[in-house]
Structure 1
Amino acid sequence: MNYEDSLIVKTAWYYYIENMTQQKISEMLGISRMKVIKFLEKARQDGVIQFKISQERSHHLQLEQKIIQKWNLKDAFVVPTPPDDSCPNDTIAKAAAMYINDRITEDTYINIGYGDTLSRVLNHLATMTESPVSAVSLTGGVSYYLPNTFSSTFNAKLYLYPAPLIVSTKELCSAMQKEPSMQSISRMVNLASMTIVSVGGLNEDATVIKNGIFTKNDFLYLSMQGAVGDILSQFIDKDGNPIQTDIEERLLSTPLSTLRTLPNVTGVASGKHKVKAIRACLKGEYLDILITDEETALSLIEEDLD
Structure 2
Amino acid sequence: MSDIGEERTRLLVKVSNLYYNDGLNQQEIADRLGISRPQVSRMLSMARAAGIVQIKIKNPYSEEQQYERAIAETFGIHDVSVLNVPDADPRTIETQLARAGSALLESALKDHDIVGVMAGRSIAAIGNEIGFVQRKGLQFVPLVGGWGSEGAPWHANSNARSLAEKLKSKYRLLNAPAVVASKEARDVFVNEPEIADVFRMAGKTNIALVGIGQVSEQATIVQSGYFSKSDIENVRSLGAVASYCTSFLDETGKLVPYDLEQRMIGMTAGELRKVPNVIAIASGEEKVAAICATLRGRWIDVLITDMETAKLVLKWHNEHPVKL
TM-score of the aligned structures, taking structure 1 as reference length = 0.74
The CA deviation at 1:210 is 2.6
> Which residues in structure 2 correspond to 1:1-306 (within 5 Å)?
53-55=58-60, 57-81=61-85, 83-87=87-91, 88-125=93-130, 127-131=131-135, 134-141=139-146, 143=152, 144=155, 145-146=157-158, 154-155=166-167, 156-302=169-315, 303-306=317-320
Distance 1:219 1:297, change over 3 A: same
Give the counterpart letter for 1:265 in structure 2.
V
Report the Cα offset of residue 106 of structure 1.
4.2
Letter in 2 for 1:230: S
CA contact (8 A) 2:246 2:265 kept: no
| C-alpha distance after superposition, 1:192-235 (max 9, x if no partner) | 22111110012433322332222333222221121112011421
1:247 deviates by 1.5
State the secondary structure of the residue aligned to 2:240: coil
In 1: Cα distance, 2:159 partner to 2:145 partner: 16
Instruction: State the alpha-carbon separation in 1 of the partners of residues 159 and 206 from structure 2.
Output: 22
CA contact (8 A) 1:147 1:154 kept: no
User: Unpaired runs of 5+ in structure 2?
Assistant: 1-56
Q: Which amino acid aligns with 1:229?
A: A
How many percent identity over aligned positions?
27
- Secondary structure of the 1:161 match is coil
Task: For 1:136 and 1:253, locate their aligned partners in 2 and report how far apart those are by CA, in whole Å.
Answer: 11
Structure 2 counterpart of 1:204, which letter?
Answer: E
- Bigger Rg, which one: 2
Q: CA deviation at 1:131?
A: 4.8
Give the distance between the partners of 1:212 and 1:183, measured in 2 at CA. Answer: 25
Deviation at 1:169, TM superposition (A): 0.9
Deviation per residue, 1:75-97 (Å, 9 max, x gap) = 11111235343413333223212
Deviation, 1:254, is: 0.6
Asked if the contact 2:119/2:159 (under 8 Å) is kept, the reply is: no
Q: Which amino acid aligns with 2:158?
A: L
- In structure 1, the partner of 2:8 is none
Equivalent-residue separation in structure 2 for 1:191 and 1:279 (angstroms)? 27
CA RMSD of aligned residues (A): 2.5
